[in-house]
């Protein structure tokens, strides 16, 4: 990895996030109004472990009801389902990028209670900024087994580069166009740990 790439990436992420917030502001306002009048609130926030395991508040558009007696899949509202399907619920994370909590590309920030399940090797996933999209997401998203997701995150942490980020961006675009994850199996990445 180029020594200064992390700094360049951080600055570039913030500039792009600000531009996207301005560009998407009409869509953001519409979604916020719809959620406010249908759900009574707009944002869902949750503490997640970030860079070097530092906790931060991650923002998303609310997509679920507050009824904890139901399963998560049953709590997703019809509007929430649409937002999740096209990943519009992730738009508020642009603010996380501007704040310096997240990057566009990096390991997805999991729940804090999962931290105790990581091996020392898998904790290396926190050596880079968490991202909105990442290697595990474009390699199979929810179809990738939990240990493989962590392995892919560590692979990214060890091999983060401009070219790898470009590949992930392209695969993310393919995912949105095709509506399915990339077809690159985890074993295609050299140095993949198992």
- State the total domains in the chain: 1
Q: What are the residues whose beta carbons fall under 8 Å from the beta carbon of 64, sequence distance 6 or more?
A: 44, 72, 75, 76, 77, 80
Q: Which domain holds residue 41?
A: 5-178
Mean pLDDT of 148-169: 94
Burial class (CB in 10 A: 0-12, 13-18, 19+), 164: middle
User: Is the residue at 26 inside a domain?
Assistant: yes
Beta bridge partners of 133: 105
For a pLDDT cut of 70, what percent of the chain falls above it?
88
Comparison of pLDDT for 59 and 141, the residue scoring more: 59
User: Is the residue at 10 inside a domain?
Assistant: yes
Q: How far apart are CA 107 and CA 14, in angstroms?
A: 18
User: Is the residue at 16 inside a domain?
Assistant: yes
User: Is the residue at 187 inside a domain?
Assistant: no
Q: Are 24 and 91 in contact (CB under 8 A)?
A: yes
User: Is the residue at 147 inside a domain?
Assistant: yes
**pLDDT on residue 177:** 76
pLDDT digits 0-9 by tens, 20-43? 999 999 999 999 999 999 989 999
Confidence of residue 101 (pLDDT cuts 50, 70, 90): very high
pLDDT digits 0-9 by tens, 74-95? 899 999 999 988 889 999 999 9
Comparison of pLDDT for 120 and 72, the residue scoring more: 120
CB atoms within 10 A of CB 179: 9
């Amino acid at each position: 990895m180029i020594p200064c790439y992390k700094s360049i990436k951080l600055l570039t992420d913030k500039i792009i996030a600000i531009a996207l917030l301005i560009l998407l502001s009409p869509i953001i306002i519409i979604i916020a109004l719809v959620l406010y009048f249908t759900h009574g609130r707009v944002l869902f926030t949750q503490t997640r472990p970030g860079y070097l395991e530092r906790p931060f508040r991650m923002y998303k558009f609310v997509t679920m009801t507050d009824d904890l007696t139901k399963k998560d899949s049953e709590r997703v509202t019809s509007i929430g389902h649409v937002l999740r399907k096209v990943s519009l619920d992730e738009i508020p994370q642009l603010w996380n990028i501007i704040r310096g909590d997240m990057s566009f590309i990096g390991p997805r920030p999991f729940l804090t209670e999962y931290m105790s399940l990581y091996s020392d090797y898998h904790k290396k996933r926190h050596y880079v900024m968490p991202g909105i999209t990442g290697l595990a997401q474009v390699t199979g998203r929810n179809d990738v087994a939990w240990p493989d997701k962590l392995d892919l995150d560590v692979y990214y942490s060890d091999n983060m580069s401009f070219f790898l980020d470009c590949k992930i961006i392209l695969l993310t675009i393919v995912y949105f166009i095709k509506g399915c994850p990339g077809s690159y199996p985890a074993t295609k990445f050299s140095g993949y740990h198992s």
